[in-house]
């Protein structure tokens, strides 16, 4: 595997493929390192969603019962 980071000076890029890669399927990715940092930051923000449903006590009990019921469906004989 070959991995390198470059800063292009124009819109053209020339790749030299190693001889042992000839005839094999290869994957070429092109993205900015800023895009990778943004994607990682977005994945870690799920903790902010905790508690955002704001369910009443009755809604919470109904939700928990529904979750229990659908879990139990996996254990039933068909």
Q: Which residue has the higher pLDDT, 49 or 59?
A: 59
Note the pTM of the prediction, 2 decimals: 0.40
* Angle, vertex CA 72, rays to CA 68 and CA 62, nearest 5: 25
Compute the C-alpha angle 6/10/13, nearest 5°.
60
- What's the rounded mean pLDDT across residues 2-23? 90
* pLDDT at 24 (0 to 100): 94
């Amino acid at each position: 595997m070959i991995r390198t980071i470059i800063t292009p000076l124009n819109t053209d890029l020339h790749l030299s493929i190693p001889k042992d890669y000839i005839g094999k399927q290869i994957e070429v990715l092109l993205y900015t390192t800023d895009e990778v940092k943004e994607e990682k930051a977005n994945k870690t923000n799920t903790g902010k969603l905790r508690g955002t449903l704001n369910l009443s006590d009755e809604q919470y009990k109904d939700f928990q019962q529904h979750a229990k019921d659908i879990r139990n469906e996996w254990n039933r004989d068909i």
